[in-house]
């Protein structure tokens, strides 16, 4: 019997645990460890922060949910991992041995990257986790009673830009509905080389579209701009300018959690886990990685550092691949190892419209090309995001990662999700006759 431990129960960890349970016989034990008692559908947090949806409506109780699917759940914070001894230490002094560990912790927010960044001990708000979304919601209600200038954006080193655009446009829409928009100047500051770059570049008409959306909503756009620090009433830029702000939401850089950064040889300097095409660690054969905590090099060098985003579909693809690869190693299945194809699909609600982004694949080839880079927009995208939220939560209740009909749908539009790794045959030895 093998014990497979999944660390983290977010958009990568919970699907990974389900897929492992699906492909491995019951003689193998699946354990899910999370420092949070509930699964949260993170893409809906901008709605929570603006009071458009309750947090409870996008959460699932993990203890009640995963037990139904023959998965052991441990609610505890991991404090250390020893990949040589194959041991995990938790905050309650427990030690857990494992045969395989799937690291799916999600990111730690690098709030110390800029002075004044963050809602606790700083002057900015965040929509990156449930606690911060609730704090942002409280601040938003106070702001509405006494409005002023707003700044929304992304700091240098940020890697997930979509929520910043979504939040800025939703704010515009909400203020307009409340008759307050004329009283609130909105500035959007991004470290991207241009609006719509999204950390990946080459996204069809995204540059034109984001600029048009900003202009139509009279949002001042500051591209390729580095923030220096924050104060209670202003955002200060590296070039010396100061932008007045009474309500500031800026996305921080991400890094891997402290316990990963402290494990010798496990991560890069930022705490991201390096992986082979199989998503196994190159040095520690018992370690796999899924989701945001996985090392993914930036698509291109930008004047201000940016990272590459890792959206939900990519995490599910990684989960499918690592489950199949672990099953192969345990002798449960036969065939070739596989890798995720890393297509990125993102739905964004902009209030009175929405945008769907498709990058196939996220990482372009050596010449900088992708098979497809598409953007669609319209109010129907907002409806699709709302529907997808309900569908995803339903999947997590039923213990599905990507069911057969969803795989069939992706295949029909040319998105295979995972692909086999075909070994390169060794050249035949050439016999030399005397």
The residues assigned a catalytic role are 160, 346
Among 213, 342, 225, CA closest to 277: 342
Tokens of 171: 């704010």
CA separation for the pair 205, 375 (Å, rounded): 7
Burial class (CB in 10 A: 0-12, 13-18, 19+), 366: exposed
Strand partners, 88: 81, 96
Q: In sequence order, which residues have a C-beta less than 8 Å from that of residue 134 and are 6 or more positions away?
A: 48, 49, 55
| Contact residues for 251 (Cβ-Cβ < 8 A; gap 6+) | 126, 128, 153, 154, 155, 158, 160, 161, 163, 164
DSSP code string of 126-177:
--SSHHHHHHHHHHHHHHHHS---EEEEE-TT----HHHHHHHHHHHHHHHH
C-alpha–C-alpha distance, residues 119 and 144, integer Å: 18
């Amino acid at each position: 019997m093998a014990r497979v431990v999944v660390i983290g129960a977010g958009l990568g960890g919970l699907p990974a645990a389900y897929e492992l349970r699906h492909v491995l016989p019951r003689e193998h034990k699946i354990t899910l460890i999370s420092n949070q008692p509930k699964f949260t559908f993170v893409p809906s947090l901008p709605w929570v922060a603006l009071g458009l949806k309750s947090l409870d409506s996008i959460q699932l109780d993990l203890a009640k949910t995963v037990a139904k699917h023959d998965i052991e759940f441990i609610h505890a914070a991991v404090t250390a991992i020893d990949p040589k001894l194959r041991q995990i230490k938790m905050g309650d002094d427990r030690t857990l041995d494992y045969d395989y560990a799937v690291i799916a912790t999600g990111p730690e927010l690098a709030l110390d990257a800029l002075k004044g960044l963050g809602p606790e001990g700083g002057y900015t708000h965040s929509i990156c986790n449930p606690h911060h979304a609730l704090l942002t919601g409280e601040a938003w209600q106070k702001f509405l009673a006494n409005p002023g200038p707003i700044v929304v954006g992304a700091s240098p080193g940020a890697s997930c830009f979509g929520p910043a655009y979504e939040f800025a446009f939703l704010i515009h829409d909400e203020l307009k509905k409340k008759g307050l928009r004329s009283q609130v100047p909105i500035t959007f500051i991004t470290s991207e080389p241009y609006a719509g770059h999204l950390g990946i570049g080459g996204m069809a008409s995204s540059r034109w579209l984001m600029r048009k959306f900003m202009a139509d909503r009279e949002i001042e756009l500051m591209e390729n701009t580095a923030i220096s620090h924050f104060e209670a009433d202003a955002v200060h830029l590296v070039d010396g300018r100061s932008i007045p702000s009474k309500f500031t939401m800026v996305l921080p850089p991400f890094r891997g959690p402290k316990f990963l950064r402290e494990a010798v040889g496990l991560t890069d300097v930022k705490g991201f886990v390096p992986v082979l095409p199989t998503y196994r660690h190159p040095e520690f054969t018992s370690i796999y990685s899924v989701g945001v905590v996985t090392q993914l090099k930036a698509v291109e060098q930008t004047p201000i550092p940016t990272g590459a985003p890792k959206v939900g579909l990519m995490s599910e693809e990684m989960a499918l691949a690592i489950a199949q690869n672990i099953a192969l190693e345990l002798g449960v299945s036969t065939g070739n190892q596989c890798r995720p194809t890393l297509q990125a699909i993102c739905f964004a609600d902009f209030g009175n419209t929405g945008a769907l982004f498709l990058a196939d694949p996220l990482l372009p080839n050596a010449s900088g090309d992708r098979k497809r880079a598409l953007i669609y927009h319209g109010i129907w995208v907002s409806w699709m995001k709302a529907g997808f939220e309900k569908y995803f939560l339903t999947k997590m209740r039923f213990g599905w990662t990507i069911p057969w009909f969803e795989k069939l749908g992706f295949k029909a539009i040319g998105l295979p999700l995972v692909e086999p790794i075909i070994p390169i045959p060794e050249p035949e030895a050439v016999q030399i006759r005397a």
